[in-house]
């Protein structure tokens, strides 16, 4: 017989919260870095600075918002579907089993 799958919903919620927390930290670091780049832009005038600043904004514009949304969506999925959904299903199954006793 196979081993039963056990879900510790508290750990799932804790992981989802940690993902969300780290996601906010990364977002804040992008903001901090952008402010530093803007300050640097006023002092560093060269072709190299144009390349560096351009690369930063390329990464920011292409990945920052979509990365943030994907991670938030994943965190929400873990909380709503895995944790809440599992608890609701487990409760319904327990109630059905109790009805046959």
Rounded to two decimals, what is the model's pTM? 0.73
Is residue 80 exposed (0-12), middle (13-18) or buried (19+ Cβ within 10 Å)? exposed
**What's the whole-number mean pLDDT along residues 49-78?**
92
Which pair of structure tokens corresponds to residue 97?
């089993």
**Whether the predicted pLDDT of 72 surpasses 80:** yes
Q: Is residue 90 part of a domain?
A: no
Which residues have a Cβ under 8 Å from the Cβ of 31 and sit 6 or more positions away?
Answer: none
Q: Is residue 96 part of a domain?
A: no
Is residue 83 exposed (0-12), middle (13-18) or buried (19+ Cβ within 10 Å)? buried
**What's the whole-number mean pLDDT along residues 46-58?**
89
Question: Using one digit for the tens of pLDDT, what is the confidence trace for 28-43?
Answer: 999 999 999 888 888 8
For the four alpha carbons of 29, 35, 38 and 43, in that order, the dihedral sign comes to negative
pLDDT band of 92, cuts 50, 70, 90: confident
pLDDT band of 1, cuts 50, 70, 90: low
What is the span of the domain harbouring residue 53? Answer: 9-85
Q: Are 64 and 27 in contact (CB under 8 A)?
A: yes
Q: Is residue 100 part of a domain?
A: no
Q: Is residue 30 part of a domain?
A: yes
pLDDT attached to residue 3? 83
Q: Is residue 55 part of a domain?
A: yes
CATH number at residue 72: 1.10.287
**Whether the predicted pLDDT of 5 surpasses 90:** no
Q: Is residue 36 part of a domain?
A: yes
Total of domains in the chain = 1
Q: Are 20 and 72 in contact (CB under 8 A)?
A: yes
């Amino acid at each position: 017989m196979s081993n039963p799958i056990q879900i510790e919903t508290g750990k799932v919620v804790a992981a989802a919260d940690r993902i969300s927390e780290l996601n906010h930290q990364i977002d804040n670091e992008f903001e901090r870095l952008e402010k530093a780049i803007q300050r640097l832009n006023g002092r560093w005038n060269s072709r190299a600075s144009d390349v560096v600043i351009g690369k930063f904004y390329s990464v920011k514009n292409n990945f920052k918002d979509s990365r943030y949304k994907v991670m938030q969506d994943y965190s929400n999925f873990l909380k709503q579907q895995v944790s809440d959904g599992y608890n609701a299903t487990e409760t319904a199954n327990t109630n059905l089993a109790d009805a046959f006793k």
